[in-house]
Chains A and B, each alone.
Chain A
Amino acid sequence: MRRLTLPERSDWRDTANKMGFTFHTAEGTPYWDESAAFAFSLREIEEEIEAPSAELEEMCLAFVGDAIVSEEILSSLGIPRDFWGAIHESWQRGDRNLYGRFDFAYAGNGPAKLLEYNADTPTALFETGVFQWVWLEEQMARGVLPAGSDQYNSVHEKVVEAFRAFRGGPSYRLHLGCARDSAEDRGTVAYLEDCAKAAGLSTQFLYMDEIGRARDGTFVDVANGEIDVLFKLYPWEWMFQEEFGRAVIGSRTQFIEPIWKAVLSTKALLPHLWRMAPGHPNLLPAYFAGQEREDLGPSYVEKPIHSREGANIRIIREGRAVSATDGPYDGPLVRQTLVEIPDFGGGHAVIGAWMVASQPAGMLIREDRNPITGNLARFVPHIIEP
């Protein structure tokens, strides 16, 4: 693994805008950054990222199976009791899932360490699956990158295939929703809608607040048509608290992600994984606050079990808080041994490893000046060297 400095394509902004990638610059700072790239060997990708992702996913699925029959575990995850039955049913029914993103600390000189699992509402999917892919094609065509370069990135193909397979084959109508006022969320959903169309589905977008609930509890769209299958880029833990949340229980609507993903989309997963596989090379020691053991060590990261985009995170080094981020989240805390996020000269680089339908599917790298990756991180593309 090494960091390359590369010339940007002079026309990349035009290309991005044409493709609907309008959030390439966020809050005045560049989000897509192709002035650099990371280069990996095929062995690094296959043995250090892809294989561990598959193994961690297996562990996570095993954990869901354990969790849904354990009051103690479900309580620790912060999921309201009312939804336990629906989660159990969803898992037993075998509701398929679409995607998730493991975030790893990896520097090419030891095992990748899992920082967290974004199992419910990960973004950066379009940038990974399409724009990074186009970047490689164009930079090879322009002679900037050697012909025969590759990329760990079958995200697009796998997402289309996953949509096609969701109902076991037959076509279906898919609604897709997200919150208002986020270009990134809207762009991600627009991309997923394109993927669904490529899979032969008919689609309909709506904002979450446009979803209607009929008197019989059915979820309906703006035209009052029943919502059979809903992709929602909207966290389950928010839906649990909202007015329509309880209407999910017993609903005929199939949700993507399925409700059982709520078991994984919490940082409370981390101490449970460590309990299941203490010493696993791809895991860091992690505990609920107040239940720490020796192996946590004096330097650790403290995060609320539900927080997003690096909000409300504290870094404790040798027992003293050295860094903290603000944010709206509170609730139970998880402590995870501090691991250095490698800096190759452009900021702290975190690897995001995509799972699509529980299969390893690709990778992205985000760099952040701050050791806590936030929403101002820059997306830096990668190649596998020929």
Chain B
Amino acid sequence: MKRSSMIFLGATGLLIAGAWLGRSGGPVSDTDKAEIYESLSACVTANAMTRDQCESEFAAAQEKHLKDAPRFPARAECEAQYGSGQCQPATIAGTSYFLPALAGVMIAQRLLGQRQPQALLPPLRAQQTCAPGFTPATQPGCVVPRSTSSTSSSGAGWRSYTTAGGSTVSRDASRSGPVTVPRTITTGRGTVPSVSTSPTTSRSSTVSRGGFGSTARSTSSSSSS
């Protein structure tokens, strides 16, 4: 056959030659079930691992966090990205920084006890906040901010996190059990620092924009051919 045997599209689902499945189907193997624990005691209580294993996973996550989390010279710059009260001082190789807090630890179920956790950070303020009455389940991609003074009921009961790779993960904290996330989030990210995309410094005040795109506006033509 000189054509694709299978096509997967987010909007349409999985299409297979000889049997178009329409809107049914879905990703076959690109997701992982993962546990998220916000504290050592939550890990122990969940009983998926022994206390020793929980301690070991949290220690590994702490190490990763210090290595991979974005570093800011001042608390204000860190909080500008992660929100008020979400940052803490740290001294790394003799230099003082502010880092976003370690908000949780994520472990793929298939990697439980193998010291390959992902350190989770608070959600980025730049991410879209869930609208009132909505949760990440009903408004995919939105985040529930961690503000201590939040009066909004949006995302009630949900918790959002950012990975070191810049992906957003949310879960319904009123329910126990794993979340389903793209496999890229539970693997690659933390171990491939060269492709980490998290901002390593606050750039908000020093970024200029609009330096691309002017030709498209000045010719009425499409940029493609």
For chain B, residues 176 to 215, give those with C-beta under 8 angstroms from any C-beta of chain A: 182-185, 187-189, 192, 195, 197-200, 202-204, 206-215
| Chain A positions 19-46 with a Cβ under 8 Å from a chain B Cβ | 19-20, 42, 45
> CA separation between A172 and B215, bound complex, in Å?
29
In the assembled complex, A93 has its CB within 8 A of some CB on chain B: no
Which of B3, B126, B183 gathers most chain A CB within 10 Å?
B3
Interchain CA distance A170-B209 in the complex, whole Å:
30
Considering only CB atoms and an 8 Å cut-off, how many residues of chain B contact the other chain? 61
A212 contacts B216, C-beta separation under 8 Å:
no
Q: Which residues of A contact B204 (CB under 8 A)?
A: 224
**Which A residues lie within 8 Å of B148 (CB)?**
none
- Decide yes or no whether B221 CB sits under 8 A from chain A: yes
- Determine whether the beta carbon of B212 is less than 8 Å from that of A228: no
Interface residues of A, count at CB 8 A: 83
Of A63-71, A79-87, A201-209, the stretch lying at the interface with chain B is: A201-209
Q: Which A193-234 residues sit within 8 Å CB-CB of chain B?
A: 194, 197-198, 200-202, 207-215, 218, 220, 222-228, 233-234
User: Does B9 interact with chain A (Cβ within 8 Å)?
Assistant: yes
| B residues in contact with A179, CB < 8 Å | 213, 216-217, 222-223
| Interface-side segment among B14-22, B36-44, B51-59, B88-96 | B14-22
Given contacts A172-B195, A212-B207, A238-B223, contact A202 B165 (CB under 8 A): yes
B-contact 0/1 string along A166-202, CB 8 Å cutoff = 0100111100011111101100100100100110111
Which residues 9-52 in B have Cβ within 8 Å of A in the complex? 9-12, 15, 17-18, 20, 23, 27, 30
Instruction: A245 to B192: give the CA distance in the assembly, Å.
Output: 29
B166 touches A213 (CB 8 A): no
Convert B162-174 into 0s and 1s, putting 1 for each residue whose CB lies closer than 8 angstroms to a CB of A. 0001110000000
* Distance of A208 Cα from B209 Cα, bound (Å): 9
Does B111 sit within 8 A of A, measured CB to CB?
no
B222 contacts which chain A residues (CB < 8 A)? 123, 179, 182, 184-185, 308-309, 375
A241 vs B216: C-alpha distance when bound (angstroms):
12
Assess the B197–A327 pair: CB atoms within 8 A. no
Q: Does A18 contact B (CB under 8 A)?
A: yes
Contact of B211 with A152 in the complex, beta carbons under 8 Å: no
Whose C-beta in chain A lies nearest to the C-beta of B183? A200
Q: How far is the CA of A111 from the CA of B148 in the complex (A)?
A: 71
A154 with B206, Cβ < 8 A, contacts A239-B212, A242-B211, A308-B224 known = no
